[in-house]
A and B are shown apart, each in its own frame.
Chain A
Amino acid sequence: MRKELILGLFASLIVVQIALPVSMIVQRESTLKNGTAFRFKTAPVDPYDAFRGRYVALRVEVNKVNRPQGMDLTSGQKVFAQLSVDEKGYAQISQIATQKPRGADYLIVTVGYSSAHEVSLHLPIDRYYMEEKAAPRAEQIYRDHSRRDKQEAYVIVRIKDGFAVVEGLYVGDQSIEDILRQKN
């Protein structure tokens, strides 16, 4: 009896162990398939922080928003950032709210610091993984371009129900993978 119980519990553990990674995959795949695509312009990243080896460290340029009047905010709090698109086609944060916005695309973000007029936000877009040799080179190209004004660097992000999945990193309308391939 005891042996069966242990085996039964062990089997349930195995199911939980596999269910978690599977649910991670399913949620991302569903967002990539059904989510709305937004282009987020990216800003250069502090080089000391950037060389992490296997990924390009990203910083989204729109990470500040006007503080809504009378809203109590603490650092680390989750809020809903309502999204819009500017004339150049880049994503903008039109406002933040503590309630889920209706009928508009939104992203769940974390509050950084906030002053009387402005709130800084942490967006869940901070890295783009690449093959280990390619990542440092991609990082270099990305930094050169996001510094210059001519060619802009941006990420395409799929967003569904406040949840974001990075789809690709682009520099001057070319994917970072294509640029690396051409340089080879």
Chain B
Amino acid sequence: MNKKMVQWLYQELPELIDKGVLPQSAADKLREHYGSIKSANQKWFVIILCGVLGALLIGLGIILLFAHNWEELSRSVRAVLSLLPLVVAQALAMGVMLKRPKSQALKEGTATFLSLMVGASIALISQTYHIPSDTPTFILTWMLLIVPLVYFMQATIPAAIFVVGITAWAGHFWDEPLKAFLFWPLLAMVIPHFIWSLRQEKYAIRSAILAMVMAVDICVVAGSTLGRTWSGSWIVIHSSLITVFYLFGAWEFKGISTHWQRPFQVLGGLGIFIMMFLLTFSFPWESITGGRYCATPETSSWSAIPDHILTFLLVGGALLLFFQYAKRQDWMRTLFGALPLFALIGYAFGATSVVFPMLLFNVFLLSASVFRLMIGIRTNHLGVINTGMLMLSALVLARFFDSEINFVLKGLVFIFLGVGFLATNVMILRRKGGAA
């Protein structure tokens, strides 16, 4: 049950008892059933935020100071000075581990500081000795040296730094998918921490930050590492990816009750709408045969196997989640989660006909937005009504300005839709009238 609702219930209880709606014993039983609600501690948030921000600012300040490249100092002095911030950060982290192992704020702060200083000291030495540029190796070395901190110090910000780092690393190999593919096993290194942090009350904000960073970065890297061999397969891959985000993000985790704590769900939901909308146009389906996303010899040989395996896992995972939600009869999420299924059908027919998948997605987006609108009206939830309206208006506007469809057909479809809406309206009103 949602924590906010329990909070509301507890607020109501005294009044209900006073008015004699509930006997005291029933109220006690309710309290016993739901247990005490621990509100996310505001003080904790401020302490950890200050610690991390302080560490970040000092760390960046030190990097800037050294970037000045003090020429007056001799080379050996500069070399020793390059190590100094690292040694200080290590001493701080070790001190916290020995003396204050229970302090979340100190651990998070010193781990963040140490993460930055590892990179700083390697960069400073590179500068002192004019070491030739090799950005990918530098980033990967740095990231591998800091990732154990995530587990030793139970720190989430270094995990976020790590995810950003490996994304930048993979970005260097956009034309070498096999190398960039290593992003996925690297990412897996922080997943246990992420899942653990989702279950910790005090990590709510931090796990949300990590989730946000992961959601964005996964989308970025998926674009360059997956579906390189089959042109147009991005339709199925990206549909599955955002559906996994959406359905996984909507999963019940202990202590998560607000939207901002679910970046996967929010970004996934937004992504699903954007994807549905894009697929109502012809250009994605033309890309299947157009060869815009050409296969290269390197990516069509055995080296594409990891790409294929992950693609199948991703599509399979999305479909599995879809069936799970269907089993729970959560129809709204099931309908939105059906995106990969429709994408697969569209992809199967896309090579022979562009019109069929386009039509399929127009109907899909139309039914999804109408369904959302109706659920919103039924539950009296303004947010749901508004997003349903937004989806519907986007579809209507896009089709109205579409130059590819002739006016007569467009006119007929619009009139048909308008009549449908009026009829629904009348039906709802009648039913309401009947109920009253």
Chain A residues near B (Cβ < 8 Å): 3, 6-7, 9-11, 13-14, 16-18, 20-22, 24-25, 28-29, 54-55, 124-132, 134, 165-166, 177
Contacts and interface: CB of A to CB of B under 8 A. Distances in A.
Given A6-B152, A18-B87, A166-B129, 6 more contacts: A9-B152, A14-B90, A25-B125, A54-B127, A128-B130, A165-B129
Contact of B69 (A16, A127, A129): A129
A125 B141 contact: no
Contacts of A55: 127, 130
B365 to A, nearest CB: 45
B121 A21 contact: yes
Contacts of B148: 9-10, 13
Nearest to A177: B71
Contacts of A54: 67, 69, 127
B97 interface: yes
B132 A124 contact: yes
A11 B87 CA distance: 13
A16 B145 contact: yes
A21 B122 contact: yes
Interface majority SS on B: helix, strand, loop or mixed? helix
Q: How large is the interface on B (under 10, 10 to 19, 20 to 34, 35 or more residues)?
A: 35 or more
Interface string B71-93: 10000100100110011001001
Nearest to A19: B145
Interface of B: 67-71, 76, 79, 82-83, 86-87, 90, 93-94, 97-98, 101, 114, 118, 121-122, 125-133, 141, 145, 148-149, 152-153
A7 B93 CA distance: 11
B274 to A, nearest CB: 36
B132 A21 contact: no
A125 B130 CA distance: 8
A104 B213 CA distance: 51
B132 A125 contact: yes
Closest 8 CB pairs of A and B: A166-B130, A28-B129, A124-B132, A129-B127, A10-B152, A126-B132, A131-B69, A25-B79
A61 B132 CA distance: 16
Nearest to A132: B68
Contacts of B94: 10-11, 14
27 contacts: A3-B101, A7-B97, A9-B148, A10-B94, A10-B97, A10-B153, A11-B94, A17-B114, A17-B145, A18-B83, A18-B90, A20-B122, A21-B83, A21-B121, A21-B125, A24-B131, A25-B83, A28-B131, A54-B69, A54-B127, A55-B127, A127-B130, A128-B130, A129-B127, A129-B128, A131-B69, A166-B130
Given A7-B97, A9-B152, A54-B69, A20 B129 contact: no
A21 B82 contact: yes
Contacts of B126: 24
Given A21-B121, A165-B130, A131 B68 contact: yes
A17 B86 contact: yes
A178 to B, nearest CB: 12
A129 B83 CA distance: 18
Q: Which of B87, B127, B131 has the most CB of A within 10 A?
A: B131
A14 B90 CA distance: 7
B78 to A, nearest CB: 10
Contacts of B114: 17
Nearest to B145: A17
A24 B97 CA distance: 28
Q: Which of B79, B129, B141 has the most CB of A within 10 A?
A: B129
Contacts of A20: 122, 141, 145
Contacts of A129: 69, 127-128, 130
Given A13-B148, A21-B83, A21-B122, A130 B69 contact: yes
A131 B70 contact: yes
B384 to A, nearest CB: 46
A24 B83 contact: no
Contacts of A3: 101
A115 B430 CA distance: 81
Nearest to A165: B129
B146 to A, nearest CB: 8
A12 B148 CA distance: 11
Nearest to A26: B79
